[in-house]
Chains A and B, each alone.
Chain A
């Protein structure tokens, strides 16, 4: 099956599932539409499309065809980037949005019930940035790994998260131990505090800890750009 047909089929199934959810809601008081779940669905489709966008590079013969097609690396990269990011996010998000809107409009008109479908701009913006973050990681993985890019990228992310988490835990523990306010506490109390590190705002931490948080935010914001630039150079220098 060609990619366009495959994407079309997924979109049709997606639309049917949304219609069914609304039908269930209007006539059988079923669960309402969960935006978080659909966000995860778009994220999964973004991961799949980002991983498959360089599937030609998985095999020598299709790789030769890909690289020998007369187009610059920049054009090839841009096509892959647009397809796996904006195009994927747009077609799935718009389908979800418009099918929801149509289902609710028709449902309200037929049943006389008054349901609404509102998504705030902030939620959309946040969701979009999260999706682009995820896309950048799997996009880079697709160019780097020659076999099983999805599995290897996932494994790399898990390893990185584990290592970063471990280092962060050590730094925070070390910092808290060194802080006068906490130095007199027993080990058990320290352990309990370390569990609560995700709610750092609740702790009365010195100013430089807040700076660290800002630095981390900037680093997280930069990660997609680093991944995209790295993917470009990897594509440029990859050998078949």
Chain B
């Protein structure tokens, strides 16, 4: 698809992306790269100039009930009506045919939210917890979350990871757009990196680790195979080609910086 806000400001050119069930996607990109716009295009909230976004073969621009029942979009800045949590549940849960009331209750318990509390009196973080609990409980096939950990306290970030990992199944996927890569590093299994109106990387963690080795080096001297490095007080965070099929823990921040600084190298390595 192609999308532009104006003739001068093109956001996406010939963008093509396929999202499959059973994955938790991490959508990464700089500020203004078009992450939120992409999510809006995917959900039919914005219309591309050419091309289309389809869910189960239905164009999302049609905003059909069948599609809306299977996509849940949680924006970064959430909006909730001025009602009690249980009132909100009564108002909206019936709209989702697979809504899991037990899971909603459990999420609220995990997040320490009282269902009888009025949302107007809650803090931003608490309202976000209610919205996350509702989003996970809808059991939608596609769950889209824009910066879900923004506003959450430290224990809640862990609880969110735990609950999100629980709801994933073969026919369900979660797309997380985030700058807080450290918060979600252990949750994401596929990385999509957006930069300058194109997708630089769209691969699973497994595929990335098969080709790249992430390690910490005290010095770069004599390390001729280093293709990218970052200096930290703990040493150099370095990336080398994984020639011997060794295991390493991916560092999403390093991967992101490396991808945006060496797009051609990444393109070459991952055949995009």
Contact = CB atoms under 8 A, between A and B. Distances in A.
Contacts of A59: 79
B12 to A, nearest CB: 15
Interface residues of A, number: 21
A72 B79 CA distance: 20
B162 interface: no
Interface stretch (A62-70, A130-138, A152-160, A163-171): A62-70
A67 B71 CA distance: 11
Contact of B75 (A64, A71, A239): A64
Given A65-B79, A239-B47, A70 B65 contact: yes
A68 B64 contact: no
Given A61-B79, A64-B75, A72 B63 contact: yes
Contact of B82 (A2, A73, A239): A2
Contact of B79 (A2, A62, A73, A236): A62
B46 interface: yes
B45 A239 contact: yes
A60 interface: yes
Contacts of B95: 69-71
A14 to B, nearest CB: 23
B96 A60 contact: no
Nearest to A67: B45
Interface string B111-146: 000000000000000000000000000000000000
Closest A-B pairs by Cβ, 9 of them: A70-B68, A61-B79, A62-B79, A240-B45, A70-B95, A70-B69, A61-B77, A239-B46, A65-B79
Nearest to B68: A70
Contacts of A64: 40, 45, 73, 75, 79
Interface string B58-84: 000001110011011101011111110
A59 B71 CA distance: 21
Given A67-B63, A69-B95, A70-B65, A2 B46 contact: no
Contacts of A63: 45
Contacts of B40: 64, 239-240
B229 interface: no
Contact of A240 (B46, B72, B78, B92): B46
